[in-house]
Amino acid sequence: MPTEIQINWAIRQLKQKAQELGRLPIKADFDEGDRARIKAFLGPWPRALEAAGLKEPKSRI
């Protein structure tokens, strides 16, 4: 289970990249190591973007 420090690191990476690019970051915007860590700490890419507040959670109705 990821620690709060790891989760916060991954969220910061996603937010910084989004601000830098002016769009939602995609997996290809990160090197393999950072991409793997982000996914390990936050889950699949769409869930990671949601955790970072960059994407609205998908409605689960």
Supply the DSSP symbol for 58.
Answer: P
**Tokens in use for 13?**
């990476």
- pLDDT score, position 57: 82
Give a yes or no: residue 58 inside a domain.
no
Give a yes or no: residue 57 inside a domain.
no
pTM for the model stands at 0.91
- pLDDT score, position 29: 98
- In total, how many domains does the chain have? 1
- pLDDT score, position 60: 63
In this structure, the number of other CB atoms found within 10 A of the CB of residue 53 comes to 11
Taking the chain (61 residues) in runs of 10, the rounded mean pLDDT of each run is: 97 98 97 98 97 86 63
Give a yes or no: residue 61 inside a domain.
no
Please answer whether residues 25 and 37 qualify as being in contact, where contact means their C-beta atoms are separated by less than 8 angstroms: no
CA distance 53 to 55: 6
Structural domain range at position 20: 4-51
* Token pair 């989760």 in the structure block, residue: 7
Give a yes or no: residue 11 inside a domain.
yes
Give a yes or no: residue 56 inside a domain.
no
Give a yes or no: residue 25 inside a domain.
yes
Please answer whether residues 13 and 30 qualify as being in contact, where contact means their C-beta atoms are separated by less than 8 angstroms: yes
